[in-house]
Structure 1
Amino acid sequence: MRASKWFLTAAIPLLGLWGCDSSQAKGPGSETTNGIVATVISDGMVASYAGVTLHKADFISNDTTGTVVVPNYETDSLGGFTLEDLDTGKYRLSIALGGKLHSEEISYSGNTLDLGEITLEAPGTVSGTFADGNGETLTSWIGVYGLDILVRTDSEGNFTLSGLPAGELKIFALSEDRKSVVADTNLTVKTSKTCSWIHTDLADRSSSSAEDPGSSSSPEESKSSSSAESSSSSELSSSSSKEFVSMVFEDFEDSVSFAAKNWYFSADTAAQINYPTLLSNYWDAVVDNSDRNGHVFSGYFSTEPGGYVIFGTRISTEGIDMSDLDSVTFYAKGSGNLRFALERWESTSSDNLKAWTKDLPLTSSWTRFSVSPTDFQLPEDDTLSTGWESVKKTVTRVHFFATSGQEISLDDITVYGLTF
C-alpha cells in the first residue's frame, strides 16, 4: 500500500520526493527562479521542521492509514521553505506540526510564488453517512482531494474524517473497489468543529475513475485521469446527488457558544443533581474525553422510582418551524435510560406540547443515536407525548431526559434537514 502511494506522489514532479524520508526544503532566503516560498508560524513562533506536502489539487490518495498529511519536505530551523522546479498548475499545499496544520489550494504559474507567513491552526472534523435513494447504506471510501487521508465507511454507512485542516476542502467518495468516484462536494471545515456530509441518490459515475491501486499507468496517464475525474465529478455532484442541510448544534468545544444557549441541568422532585449543582457553572461539567477526542458534557444524578433529570436548552421564545427536520444525531453514554424530546414548553403555559422518544438505554460506552420524526411516540402510545405533528411548527426547547441511572454524558448534537 505504501509503494502505491509513493507511485501516485511521483505523478507530481518534485525534486527530492523519491523514498519515504522527508527532505528539508530550502529556506525562503535561498536563491531561486522557480518555486513556492513561505514561512510557517505556530503558536506565535516559527514552526521549525514542520512537515510539508505538495500534491496536485485533484490528487486522490491510496493511503488507508488515516493520516491526513504525509510530509515529503520539512521547513528549516527558521520555519521557512522553498519548493522548486515545479510544473505549472493547481496544487494543494499542506503543512503540519504538533497536531496543528494548514492546507490551501494554490495556482502556480511558473514564477516564484511568495505566500508570506502561514499560521498553523487546530484541525476540524467531517462526519456523515452514505446511502442510496432508498436509504440503504453503502460501503465507500471517503477522502479529500489533495490530502493523504482515506477512510472506509462502517456497516451503517457512517464515516469520520478527523484532523482535517480548516478551510475550503473538496470531499470525495470512492466505490468499494476504489476504482471510481461516486460523489464529491465542497465543504468548509472550521477549527475544532465538526461539519457533516449526508449523501443519498448516488449516480453512476463509471466514466470517472480513480487510479486502480494495482495500476501500472505512467505518471502522465495518472495526471490526465485525475483531471478528467475531477471535472466529471463536479458536474455530476450538482445534478445527481441529494445533499442534506445540517448543523452541529452543540459540540461542547466553545464555552461562549455553550453559554449563549443557556444550557440547564435540572431535576424533578423525585431526583437530585449531584454534579454540576445549581450553584455551579454548567460549563464545569464540560470535560475533556479521550474517547471522543474533545470535550463532552457529563452530568451526575440520583433518582427515586419515576424520577428524572433534564439536560436542555430553549432555542426560541416564539417557536421554530422544524417541519423539514430529517434527524437529530448525538453521542451518549452513562447509565439508566435516556429520552430525547423536542417541545413547545413554558412553565406557566397550559398548552405545552411534547414529542419524545421511547427509552434509549445508556451504557458505559459511547453510542451514536439517530432520532428521526418517526421515532417520536404517538399520543396513543404515550400519554405524555402529544406527537411530532403537534409540535413541529413551534419548537422552543431541546431536552434530554435521563431516568433510573446516575450519569448522562453527551457529545456532538447534530441537526439534519434544517438550520436555525
Structure 2
Amino acid sequence: MKNLENISRSPWFSLTTSTLHGLSTIHAYNRRDNLTEQFNILSDINSKYLFMFNAGTRAFAFCLELMAATTTLFVALFVVLSSNDLISPSLKGLAISYSLQLTGMLQYVARLSIEVEARFDSAERLQEYVTNCKSEAPRHVKETQIPQDWPSSGGITFVDYKMRYRENTPIVLNGIDFHIQPGEKLGIVGRTGSGKSSLGVALFRLVEPAAGTILIDGVDIMSIGLQDLRSKLSVIPQDPVLFVGTVRYNLDPFNKYTDEEIWAALEKSYMKDSISKLEGRLEAHVMENGENFSVGQRQLICMARALLRNSKIILLDEATASIDAETDALIQNTIQEAFRNSTMLTIAHRISTVMQADRILVMDNGQVAELDDPNTLKQKPFSLFSLLLTASNTVNL
C-alpha cells in the first residue's frame, strides 16, 4: 500500500511543479479548469492509497491490541481460578504484571517494525534506481595517454557512425561518414528530426554509438575518458543553461582564468555593461536556471563561457535564437573573429545563419544527404539545400 502511495504521489508533484513553471502559458490559453481537474484527479488517487495505508496500519494495531487483551484475559483467568496453594499470590501478581508489559511492548515493537518496512519503500526505490541505472563511461582512462594540447588542429572524422538513444529504439544516425577539415566552419541544416542535434550528442558522447566511431585529430573519442573529451570541447546551446551561484562561477567554475580574461570575454559577448551594473559584478548572484536574467542574456553568458575557454572545437546549436537582430549581427562578427582558428559546427534552424559557412551539411533521415559549398548547393535547383532555402524564403515573405 505504501508503494502504491509513493507511485501515485510522483505524477501529482510533477503536475504541481510544471504548473507553477507554466502559469503564464496556462493563463494565456485559459487552461485553468483543465489543470485544476487534473490536479484533483491525481490528488484523489493519492489520497485513496494514503487512506488505505493508514487504514491498514490502524487495522493491524487493532488486531495487536485485541491479541494483547485476549492474552491478558487468559492470564487473569488463570490467576483467579488457580489455587493459592499451587501458585503463590506473589507469583500471580508478577504474572499479571509481566503479561501487561509483554503485550504492550509486543504491540509497540510490531507496529514499529511494520512502519519501518513501509517507510523503507522509498529507500528500495532509490536502490533500484542506483543498481539498474546504467552509468556513463569513466571520466579518465589510464591506459590512454593523449597529448596535453589535444586537439591541436580540430579535425573531425565520422566513420560509419550509427547511434540510437536507447535500446530497442530506431537508429537516429545511420552510417554517418564524412570528414571536417581543421578550422572549417560547417553549417548543419535539415528538417525537424533529420538528426542535426544528434550530431552534437554524438560528439560529446552523451549517448554511446551503436556502431562506428568518431576521430578527433586521429584520436578515437571512444578510447578516452569523458572528462578528457568534454573539457576540450565547447558548446553554445539553444536552451542556455546557468547554475545557481555567481556570475564568475558560471563563467569559470574551476577558477582557471583571471578577472581580466573574464571581463574580456564578457566584452566580446556584449554583456560587460549589464554585469557591471549588477551588485557585486562578477560575484552577483545567479538564481536557479538563471531566472534573474533574460533568455537572451543567458545565451550571451553561455557564449562568453565558450569565448573564455577558446576551444579548438565549438558546437553552436542555434546560439542566437533568443537575441535581437542587431545584437545577432554583432555576435556573428564576434564569433567569426574569436573562433577564426577553431573548427565550428553550427546547427542551424534558420538557414540564413549558416550562409557564410565554408561548407553545408544537409541531414535527412539520419544520413548525410548533401555536403558541399553553400553556393554550389544553392545553384543546384533540386538539391535539398535549395528546397530548404526556398521554403525559408517563402516563410519569411
Q: Tell me which interval the TM-score lies in, with the shorter structure as reference length.
A: under 0.3
Larger RCO, structures 1/2 (Cα 8 Å, 6+ apart): 2
The structure in which a higher percent of residues are helix is 2
The structure in which a higher percent of residues are strand is 1
